[in-house]
Amino acid sequence: MQLSQLSKAILISLLPASSVFAAGLDRSGQSISAFLQPGNYAEASFTVLDPTVEGTSHLDNKKLSDMGDDYYFPGAAVKVQATENISLGLIYDQPFGADATYGLDTGTFDNGKESTKVKVRTNNLTALIGYQPTENWNIYAGPVWQTVKANINLRGNAYSLLSGYNINVEQKDAYGWAAGFAYQVPEIALKASVTYRSEIKHKADAVETTTLASINPAYSFLSYKESTVDATTPQSVNVDLQTGIAADTLVFANLRWVHWDQFAVKPALLAQASALAKGKAQNLIDYTDDQYSITAGLSRKFTDKWAGTAAIGWDSGAGNPVTTLGPTEGYWSVGLGGQYSPAENYFIQAGVKYFWLGDAEAQTGGDVKASFEDNHALGYGMKIGYRF
């Protein structure tokens, strides 16, 4: 049961749709599994999420229609074994994001013509260099390049005088780093890795507007502002484990911690306008708890060309009540995946995962405005891998 032989048949990826609906803004799970593949390796993936997030307004006790937008994100990686002891890798993913559009229904999160909308995008490129002093150990580190872009519109009675607020955050890049180590025992197909990613501090240009001047001309000084938004994407730790338990069979687990505690985005105009409207400055997005998640499962090779994976997962969420821009609190999940290998050096993998989303209360300005219960999501994806 050599690890190199088994890994060629079964690629442990925790399914293409692995995280996709995690706590806070977390999406991809920031895996480096491609970098730990033996030899030279490249992959490309595509993941889609179809959420259903419905709730009830606390302002009028009426039903809120589905506000969770479908979204997709790509991923890619390449790893080269430059020498017997040195490996190089490049990993692209979109680790954080948000997509939501409230319906034109109760007036809580809409004004009858427009509704609250949010779109947050990140791009992440991780360059790693690994040193393997023996066949058992791999020590790696490298820089991380990241961009953030966002467009958010607040509408409805939930925001009081802040209804009509808009912010457009221009794409801006910043840098961090990643480091970790891996240990493997080929004879029992065992592999374990621990990867730390640093926080990344962004200082992005933004344009903020409000409709306060149309309510009272005296507020015209709060109608438009070009500002700089400070945001720090969180540090995290991933622990990945796998081992063979029988011929052609692996069990695996991924544990992830993300430091969302005290995360907050505080645009200048929003802070001024909310202090005027509500007597205290309001954050655009904030979270109160760290995220903890675990995914565990089993992969089995059925034939030389076919393999399958089954996994279950749990995510703690990042605090409750939550922001109105993402009103869910963690999840339970179950997933299935299959892998077809037409030849030894390449494969096609597909997977599907169902999420039971945790109930949450959505707040703005410190006041709960709606409850979201009994929601779910469906994630699915495809990956192509090639060994060269």
| Digit-coded pLDDT (tens) for 343-354 | 989 999 999 999
pLDDT of amino acid 365: 79
Distance CA 205, CA 264 (A): 17
Give the pLDDT mean for 238-247.
91
Distance in angstroms (rounded) separating the CA atoms of residues 16 and 47: 6
CATH superfamily to which 3-387 belongs: Outer membrane protein transport protein (OMPP1/FadL/TodX) (2.40.160.60)
pLDDT of 271 above 80:
yes
* Banded model confidence at residue 253, pLDDT cuts 50, 70, 90: very high
Instruction: State the SS3 of 119-168.
Output: EEEEEEEEEEEEECCCCCEEEEEEEEEEEEEEEEECCCHHHHHHCCCEEE
Asked, as a colleague might, if the bond just before 327 is cis with ω within 30 of 0, I would say no
Average pLDDT, the chain: 90
Asked whether residue 12 carries a pLDDT value surpassing 60, the answer given is: no
Residue located via tokens 């076919």: 306
Residue ranges of E strands in 9-136: 41-52, 55-57, 63-64, 71-81, 86-93, 97-101, 117-131
Confidence at residue 161, expressed as pLDDT on a 0 to 100 scale: 87
**pLDDT score of 275:** 86
Q: Taking residues 361-371, what's their average pLDDT? A: 90
Q: Which helix (H) or strand (E) holds 7?
A: helix 3-9
Q: Mean of the pLDDT values across residues 65-88?
A: 95
pTM exceeds cut of 0.85: yes
Task: Output the pLDDT for position 14.
Answer: 46
Does the pLDDT of residue 216 top 70, yes or no? yes
pLDDT digits (tens, 9 = 90+) for 99-141: 999 999 999 999 999 999 999 999 999 999 999 999 999 999 9
Amino acid residing at 306: W
User: Does the pLDDT at position 22 exceed 70?
Assistant: no
Domain spans, the chain: 3-387
Q: Looking at per-residue confidence, does 127 or 15 come out higher?
A: 127
pLDDT band at 239 (very low <50, low <70, confident <90, very high): very high
CA distances from 372 to 20, 69, 287, 329 (A): 19, 15, 17, 9
